[in-house]
Structure 1
């Protein structure tokens, strides 16, 4: 193979790989956004760390969160509904052309176990209303019902 053909094959391979990755990402993003109970949500796990954009989704007993800039099919974080406690709600100043945003400071225990920690979830006011409704709808555990 001559040098020019080899370069063309390498470039064509890179274009195919980048195109396939882009298609996977686009398909994943559309699928996540169309799920029932899904909403855009920015996650900040630590005061010193940066925020990650993503999509959260309410499950029957779990809140799932996927990173937006990823092609992984599994959620990056999961929290049990019973382990989420909203500590504070902060309404952010309005930004023209965007819905009103709310930051919920929460105490959570990761579903995989581990220590209790604080996170901040930024979402629209409508998403926050759905989030708190979902949390309040947790079935209460009672002893014997006669």
Structure 2
């Protein structure tokens, strides 16, 4: 086999691998985005400046957050309903069609900022408020 033939075969294999990875990425994002209870949600740990895009999904007693640019099928962060507390709200782009709200949440391990559409924030707050009472009330 000539050098040009070998280089062509290597390029073909690389193109196939890149195409397969792209297909896996698109299928993963579509499956996450079409789950019942999923919404777009950016995350920024407290003290950092850069946001990471993601998709959050309501679960039983928790919210799972998946990094958007990833091939992992496991959530990057999981927020337990009992541990998540909304501390502050800032509404961005007040006049636009896609109104975005940023919230500061406290967790046992620290604080995290989340940004989402205002409708998603209303759903998250309703979900948090609809939790059963905390504590041992039936002793």
Query: TM-score if structure 1 supplies the norm length?
Result: 0.89
Aligned-residue CA RMSD (Å):
1.4
Q: Does 1:122 align with 2:125?
A: no
C-alpha deviation, 1:62, in angstroms? 1.0
| Structure 1: distance between partners of 2:93 and 2:47 | 20
Give 1:49 shift. 4.1
User: What residue is the counterpart of 1:112 in the other structure?
Assistant: none
Aligned residue in 1 for 2:32: 32
Segments of structure 1 that go 5 or more residues without pairing to the other structure are 110-115
State the distance in 1 between where 2:94 and 2:4 align: 55
Alignment partners' CA distance in 2, 1:13 and 1:49: 39
Match of 2:67 in 1: 67
Listed one character per residue, the Cα deviations across residues 48-73 of structure 1 (whole Å, up to 9, x for unaligned) are 24110000011111110001100111
Shift in Å, 1:46:
2.9
- What TM-score do the two structures reach when normalised by structure 2? 0.93
Show the counterpart of 1:135: 128
Gapped runs of 5+ residues in structure 2?
none
Helix, strand or coil: the match of 1:11?
Answer: helix
CA 1:47–1:95: 2 relative to 1, 3 Å: farther
Instruction: State how far apart, in whole Å, the 1-side matches of 2:19 and 2:49 are.
Output: 31
